[in-house]
Structure 1
Amino acid sequence: MNNRKKNSIYSLILVAVVAIVWFYRDGQKPENEKLPYIFISGEAQGTTYNITYSDKENRNFKEEVDSILHQFDLSLSTYVKKSEIVRFNESDSLQFESPFFYPVLEKSQAIYNASAGAFDPTVYPLIEAWGFGPEKVDFPDSSRIEEIKSYVGFEHINFNKQRVIKEKEKVSLDFNAIAQGYSIDVVFDFLKVQGIENMMVELGGELRVKGKNENEDLWAIGIDDPKTESGQKAKRVAIIKLDNEAISTSGNYRKFFVHEGRKYGHSINPKTGYPIQRDIISSTVVAPTCMEADAWSTAFMVTGLEKAKEILAKQTHLKAFFIYEDEKGDLLQFSTENLGGNIIL
C-alpha cells in the first residue's frame, strides 16, 4: 500500500473518530443545561416591543417579527392611512384581505355580549369626539354626544369570515382596546411554531409568556402604583407570576385631559357616551390569550367593581387584580381567588 493511500485511510479514520467523540459528548450534555436567551426589541403601533426567548439554535427573529407587526398595522391600525379598518370606517363594507380582521371581530362580539356592551369597538366616533383619536378636537357638547350615540353599538354591524357590513350609516370601528393584545398573540404563535418553549412577548406594556425565564422561574410582572407622580420611577403595588398566560392593565391615570378643573380619562362608556367615572382606576386581567386580557381589562374599567365581580364569577378562565377608590377616595385592592399564590402584594 503506498503512502498516499495510507494517508487517505488515516484521514478518514481520524474524521470518523472525531465525529464519534463529538456525538458522544453532545449526548452526554446535561438535560438541564441552560439555553441561550435572546432579546429583540423594536417599534410598533406607536409604542415599543420587547421579546425575550430561549433558542438552542440561537436564531434572531427580529426581521420576521417586524414584518408581522407591519402587516398587522396595515390591517387594524386607525393611524395607518388606507389600512383595512380605516377603509371600512370610510365606506359601508369591507372584504377582508388579511387574516387578522375576522378573529378580532369574532372575539369582540363574544366579549361585547358577555360584558353587556361595556366592551364595544364601535365606540370609535365617541373616542374621536372626545379628542382621543388621531385628531384633536374641542370639548364636545351634550347634543353632539347624543347624536353620536345613535350609531354606537356592535349590533349595527354584520360580519362573516369574508366580510363586514355596516347596518347603520356612520358606524366606525376602533380595535385599540383589543388589537394590541391580539398582535402579541400573533407574534407569540409565530415563535411557538418555530419551536420556542420559553418566551416573553411584550408590546406597549401588555404581554404573554410561555415556559420560564432565564432563572428558570415563572415570568413575574410588576403592577404599577397609579398614584406614582409624573416623572418619578413607578412604584410597584403587586407582582403577578404568569404560568403560560397573558396579562394586560388598563387605567385612566396616565392618559387623560383636564377641562374646567375636571379630569377626563380616555376610557369611554359606550352607553353614556362620556369618559367613565367608575371606582376602578387600574384594571389588570390575566387570561389564556392577550387578546382576551386586553379587551377585558378595558371592559372592567367601564363596568366598575361590583359588575366586574359578577362577570368574573361566570368567566372563570379570567383572573383579575383591581385598584379602586372607595367613597372616601382611599385606594383599595381586589384580587380574584384564582390568582392564588401567584400574586405577591
Structure 2
Amino acid sequence: MKKSVLAAAMLLGLLVAGCDEQQTSADSGLVLAGKTMGTQWRVSLAGVPDDRQEALRSKIQQLLDNDDHELSTWKKDSVLSRFNQAHDNRPQPISPEMADIITMSLRIGRLTQGAMDITVGPLVNLWGFGPDRQPSHTPSQTEINAAKAQIGLQHLQVIERADGAYLQKDLPGLYVDLSTMGEGFATDHLARLMEQEGINNYLVSVGGAVLTRGHNAAGNAWRVAIQKPTDRENAVQARVDLQGHGISTSGSYRNYYELDGKRISHVIDPQTGQPIEHRLVSATVIATTALEADGWDTGLMVLGTEKAKALALREKLAVYLITKDKEGFSSWMSPQFRAFLLQDDSASR
C-alpha cells in the first residue's frame, strides 16, 4: 500500500530487503514470506517446529488479506473504498482496528501540523501514486488547487458509539488514503497473531515496517538494518536492536518516476500539493508500535531535515535521518534513537 521497496532490512541469514549478510541456519529459525498490500510480508520465528509452517502461513495470509480488504484504496469493494465513494456526511461503520488507525493518524497529523495527512489521496492520485495512472504531464496549479480543496484532516472524525465505531466526513469529496499507516498496522496485527499462537520469539514485517519480540533461533537479539539511500541492495547504514519495539522507514530515493525531465517523489506535501523537493531522503522511526512508527516517518519526510529534527527533539521521538548534501549523504539521530543503536555501530558515529 505504501513503499514499493523495503527500506528497513532484517539481518536474518537470508537475502532480505537489501541485505545479503549471511548468518548460520541455526540463526534463521522458521522463515515464512508472501505478498500483501502491493508489497511483501515476512515472519521469522524461533523455537517453532517446521510442522506448523503451513498452518501458520495460511493464518498469516488470511489475516493480511482481510486487512487489505478493509484498508485498500485499490480494491473498489474494500471498507475504505466504500467510505471514499460515499459522497454524503452519514457516519459509516468501521472496525475498532480502523478506528485506532485513523485516531493515531489524526494525532500525528495534528503534531506534524498537517504534514502527515491521510486525506491527501486526491493529490496522491493526481500525481500518479494511487489507483489512477501516472499523469502524462505535470499537473497544473489549477489541478493542484482543485485537489487541495478536497483534503483536510479537519473534515474527518471518528465517532465512538455504544454499538461500535463510525467514520464521518463533512466534505463530500474527501478521500482517505491509509497507505501511510497500513504496513505498520498489518505488522502489529501479525505480532498479535504470533502472541495468540503462543509464539514469543519473532520478527514480523510488512513492507518497510518491522516489529520484534524476544530473540532469534541462536538466542541473540533480532537485528534490523537501515539501508543506505542507494540502489545497492546490500548497503547498510546502521543497525539496531529494537528491544521489542516497532520500526518504520520512509524514503524518497526509490519510489519515483520521471515526468517532464524531473524526478517525481511519491512523498506529497499537503501544504504545497506537490512532491517534496528538499534534501531529506530517508526517515526512520522507532516507536512502541509499528503503526505509530509508520505514521511518524511519513510526516517527518514531508517536513524536511531541520523541521524533522526539531519535531523529533520536541516529541522525544527515536528518529534517524539521512540527508543528501554536497559530500554525498549525512546522518542525524535523536538521543532516543541512539539507545537502540548496536554498540559496534555507535562507536563510529
Fold-level similarity (TM above 0.5): yes
Cα distance in 2 between the residues matched to 1:37 and 1:195: 16
Q: CA offsets per residue over residues 109-159 of structure 1, 9 Å max, x none?
A: 111111111100000000000011112133311111011111211101122
**Matching residue of 1:219:** 222
User: Matched residues in 2 for 1:57 and 1:36: separation?
Assistant: 13
Cα distance, 1:182 vs structure 2: 0.4
SS at match of 1:160: strand
Pairs within 5 Å for 1:118-129: 118-129=115-126
Report the CA distance between 1:177 and its aligned residue: 0.5
The equivalences for 1:141-180 within 5 A come to 141-161=140-160, 162-180=165-183
What is the letter of the counterpart of residue 205 of structure 1? G
Deviation at 1:100, TM superposition (A): 2.7
Give the deviation of 1:342 after TM superposition. 3.4
3-state SS in 1 of match to 2:332:
strand
- Answer whether contact 1:74 1:80 (CA < 8 A) is retained: yes
- Tell me the residue number matched to 2:269: 269
Percent of aligned pairs sharing the same letter: 29
2:123 aligns to what SS in structure 1? helix
Give the C-alpha shift of residue 261 in structure 1: 2.0
Distance of 1:52 and 1:94 partners within structure 2: 40
Counterparts of 1:36 and 1:220, CA distance in 2:
12
2:129 to 128, 132, 135: 132
Gaps of 5+ in 2: 1-25
Change (3 A) 1:158 1:97: closer
Structural RMSD (CA): 2.0
Deviations 1:1-28 (A, max 9, x none): xxxxxxxxxxxxxxxxxxxxxxxxxxxx
Q: What amino acid is aligned across from residue 294 of structure 2 in structure 1?
A: D
* Structure 2 residue aligned with 1:43: 35
With CA pairs under 8 Å and 6+ residues apart, which has the higher RCO, 1 or 2?
Answer: 2
**Alignment partner, residue 88 of structure 1:** 83
Give me the whole-angstrom Cα distance separating, in 2, the residues matched to 1:226 and 1:261: 21
CA distance in 2, matches of 1:99, 1:285: 25
CA contact (8 A) 1:35 1:55 kept: no
Matched-pair contact (CA < 8 Å) for 2:222–2:242:
yes
Deviation track 1:57-96 (CA, whole Å, cap 9, x = no partner) reads 6633111111111111111011112101111111034533
TM-score normalized by the length of structure 1: 0.84
CA, structure 1 residues 192+38, in 2 after alignment: closer, same or farther (shift >3 Å)? same
- In structure 2, the residue corresponding to 1:126 is in which secondary structure? helix
Instruction: Give per-residue Cα distances to partners, 1:181-218, cap 9 Å, x unaligned.
Output: 10110111121122221100011132100011122222
- Partner SS, residue 78 of structure 1: coil
Rate the CA distance shift 1:334–1:77 in 2: closer, same or farther, 3 A. Answer: same
TM-score (normalizing by structure 2): 0.83
Given that 2:46 and 2:215 are in contact with CA atoms closer than 8 Å, whether structure 1 keeps it comes out as no
Query: Contact (CA 8 Å) 1:284, 1:322: kept in 2 or not?
Result: yes
Which residues of structure 1 form unaligned runs of 5+?
1-33
Q: Which moved more, 1:306-315 or 1:78-87?
A: 306-315
Structure (1 or 2) with the larger CA radius of gyration: 1
Deviations 1:200-258 (A, max 9, x none): 00111321000111222221112222133xxx433112112211011111111111122
Match of 1:209 in 2: 212
CA distance in 1, matches of 2:279, 2:333: 15
Aligned to 1:74: 69
Q: Distance in 2 between matches of 1:338 and 1:312?
A: 9
Paired letter, 1:163? Y
**Other-structure match for 2:286:** 286
| Structure 2 residue 102 is matched with structure 1 residue 105 | yes
User: Is 2:63 the counterpart of 1:65?
Assistant: no
